[in-house]
Structure 1
Amino acid sequence: MEFNRPVRIKLTGNINDNFKTFKQEIEVYFMATETYKKPKEVQVARLLNLLGPDGLKLFNTFKIEDKSIETIFKCLEEYCVPKKNVVMEHYKYFTRKQNENESFDKFYADLRELIKSCEFGEAEETLLCSQIVLGIHDKDLQTKLLREHLPLPKIIKYCQAVEQAEMHRRVVQKESPALDQIEERQQFKSKGWSQIKQNNKSQRKQEHKNKNQVNYKNKNSGESQNNNVKKFSCNRCGISHGINECPAYGKTCNNCFKLNHFAVKCRKGANKGELHEVQCNNSNDEEEELTYLSLNSIESEKQINWTDIVVIDSKKELKIKLDTEAQLNVMPLKEFKKLNKNLEKSSVVIKSFGGFKIESLEKVKVNLKNSKNEISTYFEVVNYNDLLILGLKDCIKLNYEIKEVNEINSCKTEKDVFLQKYNDIFNGLGKFPEKISIKVKDDANPKIFPPRRVPYKIVNKLKETLDKMCELKIIEKCKEPSEWQSPIIIIKKPDKSLRVCLDPRELNKNIVREMYQIPTLEEIKLNLLNKKYFTLLDLRDGFYQCELDQKSQNYCCFSTPLVGIST
């Protein structure tokens, strides 16, 4: 029986990997050919034969007294395998991150290979879990993995499932049926009119610098053009955009006050009562801007119906939303597809809440009829899932009753109730319970500085500032001479008020410093493990809330052109 001969050892390139592969092939080959049962001289001869010319030359440089397979492999390993530096192996492992287009299986396999030479011992599985979570490229997936501690098999299975689901989503999105007249949404800014040609076997292509290419196609034409960047309908902001281009990223929802989505797409109950406002600019480019605003729901004893049923083109009955704050009509893309009508050019730019633009898919002209009147009007076609929106102008034409609300009853918010409950805490400046003591060196020489000149223009304002600080009990007038007196620095704030600062350079030189160890970033990270809620607290006028003891007050005296003042 014949067996595949091992490939000769290569002493160029990555000789470390080449040696490991060659050694494994030799062991398999010798086992298959029963070479291990042969005499030692035969085993050595076969190994030298399989080394090849380069390997044989290298063998001749070795000084081996007792020739055997083990000793030959040991000498080859000393030559091919570099000495391992554990610190560098740790560095390679902990700096390994998943690349953008790299599959999870390849990322996990590389981590497995790198961790072999790290000598972590029993902590190997735990550190492998940590590096997967910290090195994963998908930040949403990383956030989910950080919520709770999962064993390694579950982490692997979960990451593979998420990656597979994302691949399936892309396939489904790619194969979704195209619109008869519109292949993809137009999203660009131009001062000229956009063009739509609906002749058979026609194409249009219009390029805009730094914007996406948009294509339209005829229903009977099998030809189309693809956008450079694939867009999808986002469930976080409500508009269509490319990957990593969501305008809601980093923004706070006005409904649940959480990050990375708008209130219109909030899962904790949509805000009742949406306002749509159109601002028309009388500029040369004839551009109109539609601004989308969101209004939080106001509790009312009586439920008001803001919708009605209208007939479109004397054929189809549709439910429509009446919005007296809108100056433009909007139609969902799914409803337009059912009308089998042609689009007309439009210069409208729709702005969502936050000022992010949403391009209209042009406009369509329809006939509207309700129980009171019939009109012909235009609707801007937009890719969103909701009712048709009828603006103020056409609400008046269709004789809908419009009422003005000039007065509303204010209701207390949770913030107002909280402030009222703890009124004693939020009144005044406040101060910490313990007093601060400044320790001065025993051989310190007290110094007194004369007051610095103050421009006449701010003398009165300086006096008002010092009087206010005295009223708030931040400072007080000196009642007796002091051995220490420092000058002051006056800084003008953006609101034109004054900030009075002490300039205690000489005092600082004589203060006995209290040494504190500053925590490192690694220590802070450990304290943040398994934490869910984070907040930022800031003390306004924080240093004014630190009271000095009597001796320290004498150290911090300062002089002004007005009067001696002590903090």
Structure 2
Amino acid sequence: MATFTIPPPPPLDIDSSSLATSFKKFKQAFTNFELATGIATPDNSLRVATLLAVIGQPAVDLYNTFTWAGEADAKTYQKVIDQFEVHCKGHANTTYERYIFNTRVQREGESFESFFTSLKSLAETCEFDTLTESLIRDRIILGMKNANISQRLLREAHLTLTQNITIVRAAEAASAHASEIAKSTMTDISDVHYVKHERQNRQKPAKFQQQKNSKSQICRNCGDKYPHTDHPCPAQGKTCLFCKKQNHFAKVCKTKLKQQAEVNLVEQTTQHSQPSLQAAQGESNNEDYLFAIGPSDESNQLLKVSVIINDVKTTAVIDTGTSVNIMSRETLNTICTEQSPLEPTGKQVYAFGANSPIEVLGKISLLVRHKAQMLRDIFFITEHSGPTLLRLNTAKELHMIAVTCNVHAAPSVIDEFSDRFVGLGKLAGVTCKLHVDQSVTPVTQPHRRIPFHVRQHVEAELKRLQELDIIEPVRV
């Protein structure tokens, strides 16, 4: 049979700031050590000797200062343990123990189970009595590293410790599961891209060879067959009608072909591809539209805001031209660990300028919060990655933006100071002198021709301004 050596517990730290807790842990460890090694015998002398051998020299020195009712008590295990316990508990400071408890927070990388166990251990020396569970519950809410979970717990008015623990454990497990799913999804996507690129590379040489053979039979200057056997190239000495350069025709002009290729690329991207979604949406008729759609590298030009959706903080983009809210399935899986099934939309969503609709998986109702404002709104879910998009009405109701249609002057101010709004506002008895740099040569602008049908109106306006002494004629 295999044998192994069980190490003794570490010595008791009698200089600990929490001596009562330290002794409690040592006593538990020593009891387990006795049972595991089989030395927990009725022989008190052996048990005391073993205790003093592992408890450490500072604790042995403390043992030597104890006062005993009889010499036999010094060799009785339970009497010795009781003496140590009385001494250690006598040094317990309830105020300090409660301070340690109330300042305990979840550390970086620490699991909830470890944090919860530590709080229960600290509470045992705080003498909370009947308030122990409620104070541990409060400490969990206030000391959690995840602010979203803390906010969710704070919304529950009558939350018990058991309910608190259940919610936190479920949230922590869901976060871990979502992370694993995201990693698995990224691996699958990488595999698909690899196969796709491999197939394209296999087909490219044959296609390239075909194009090469085809182009080798056409003259690059005139576009006819090459070589010219019985006559020189007709483009020789001719000027291109497109780029105005010599020795080629417009139909084979490289500058023209390059611009056409760029136009074709833009049209194909608009009609057939479905770029990263970077805008917002809402409900109207059977067709909705997305306007702020573009390459991912232009995301820094969009209006981004920080919002909380279903208790999870995320970044969204406001677009006042879109008609529905939209969210990627990846984002939905992150913020909704226990989501309801998606409902059919009955609508089609089009990107700006696209002929084919964007694939929408369904819609779902989500709770959106921005600062003090909160509302529940419909989000369309798609397969595409990208930020969450908010429509105009959603942004307005959350007080993210304000729409000002008209600007009115305050009538009360005009009525109260009516004498200030009479005339042109000239200051009586004040002459304004303009300082002119005489070293600078004056410049005059030529008279601009005025359409015949407005000449009389212009002359009348100039005459009116002259009579009001706003302008005066210049004699040259």
Normalised TM-score (structure 2): 0.39
Tell me which protein shows more helix as a share of its residues.
2
Tell me which structure has the larger Cα radius of gyration.
2
TM-score, normalised on structure 1?
A: 0.34
